[in-house]
Amino acid sequence: MGEAAVRAVREHGPPTVPQVQGYLLLKHLIDITYQESQKFLSEGNHENALPAALHSLRFNIEVYGLKSLELVPTYLILSEANIGLGDLAQAQEYLAQAQWTVLKSPECGSDVHHRLHRSLGRLYAAEGNFQESLYHLANDVYHASEAFGTDDIRVTGGYFQMANVFFHQNKRDIADSLYTEVTNIWHNHLSKLARMQLQPDKESSQTPVVPENAVEGTFDEVQKLEGLQILNAILDFREQSSKQDLVKVMKVLDTLTLFHFMCMNFKKAHELGKRVLWINEHFPDQAVPEILPILLEWIEVKLLSSK
């Protein structure tokens, strides 16, 4: 039981059944509105993210009060939505509220700090203050690494935003190295998952068995949308580069193949995997990723069986 709840019991006695039911309803509404606002934001739908986040904020205030750390994630979504809509002054107001709340909450963990710095980095980048943006994005990466580990996919968003800032500064070599780091983290993560799913069935004919719920527990809907957006942006960067590096193009294509495979989007995974093989066929000095032939073989069997 939180301190506010304990204080309320001491002052007013235990809550009645209707009060408990109302509290549980508000908690449910907080979860729904927050998840919806987060999903809209990940899709780039800032107009719909805004009202959902405002409802989430109102319900949070009713349950936790104006000074609670629980409000910070919603403040961050509101700031991101306003950045997307071009209202930087309003975004700054929400971020100021989030910063003040975090400052007054010494128990605040690295997971919250990394999201706060991510939003601040995006705001300063939108304002054209690249030096301040990079400062906050570096802190984003630091706190995300501390919270989840240096090789966790949740760290890649900070690296990706930093790369975008360097790209806008025309520091393309630095942006290139950061895009490579993002690709490597996603590729390593997805390769491990794919290998686990493609283990042969020892009880039968050594045919890999992939459960229908393979994507469950891999990453949530928001991570899925963010990961797809990031990897597609890096692929565009690689393909549009004046000095195209086929090794790096193949790495991103292979990563996207694994990504769509884990999301059970087999047609897209097959299409991207075939592009990797096409590059190898025309430029045989480029090595094919070890797992790719096995993965494509499984996908082709799956697609044929579904016809």
AA letter at 124: Y
Tens-digit pLDDT profile for residues 129-177: 999 999 999 999 999 999 999 999 999 999 999 999 999 999 999 999 9
Mean model confidence pLDDT for the chain: 87
> Alpha carbon of 49 to those of 79, 107, 114, 228: distances in Å?
11, 28, 21, 19
User: What is the torsional sign of CA 110, 216, 269, 222?
Assistant: negative
CA atoms of 206 and 185, how far apart (whole Å): 30
CA atoms of 51 and 273, how far apart (whole Å): 40
- The pTM for the full model equals 0.86
In 10 A of CB 11, how many CB atoms?
7
Tens-digit pLDDT profile for residues 192-231: 999 888 875 444 445 555 545 554 456 788 888 999 999 9
Mean pLDDT by 10 residues, the chain (307 residues): 45 46 76 92 93 92 90 96 96 96 92 96 97 98 96 96 97 96 96 83 48 57 90 95 88 96 93 93 80 90 80
CA atoms of 96 and 144, how far apart (whole Å): 21
CA atoms of 2 and 50, how far apart (whole Å): 29
CA atoms of 188 and 289, how far apart (whole Å): 12
